Amino acid sequence: MSLLSLQAEFRPMVEQDLDRVAALEAELQAFPWSRGNFLDSLKVGHSIWVCLLGGELVGFSVAMLVIDEAHLLNIGVARSHQGLGCGAQLLRRVMEHARQHGASRLFLEVRPSNARAVELYRHFGFRQIGLRKGYYPASDGREDALIFDKDLA
């Protein structure tokens, strides 16, 4: 089954989506963002998109735009819907929205253990430019973050 056959809808997140987005994040992450984190991002005007399939919210992305740069802060897709293209479409929307608002580069951090995300970013032409030691909380202490960027020009 492909995303195209499922008639995905993408739209900016609204406050009514907060509970579902926070619940989805909690299903995906051992150390999730809180509902308050998403609300704060919404209030400060971050670029936040949701993916709906058959009316069900199954994915989200959060990006911060600052002058001529963008930073992907969070992205997630329900495990039951991974591999259908929702994450790729959300990432495309982040990149396009950032371009439209004058960003020439997009940055992100990703756990080295998140091989699926690393593969997605590399597929889209992101390159590793650094490493943040002990950046993420982990069940056995801390995990490093790979720093990636992509030229949007």
Q: Please give the single-letter amino acid code of residue 53.
A: L
Pairing type for strands 56-66 and 47-53 reads antiparallel
Contact 24, 34 (CB under 8 A): no
Encoded tokens for 116: 């699926």
At residue 140, what are phi and psi to the nearest 5 degrees? -110, 30
Q: In this structure, are residues 88 and 98 in contact, taking their beta carbons and an 8 Å threshold?
A: no
Query: Catalytic amino acids?
Result: 109, 121
Q: How far apart are CA 133 and CA 85, in angstroms?
A: 31
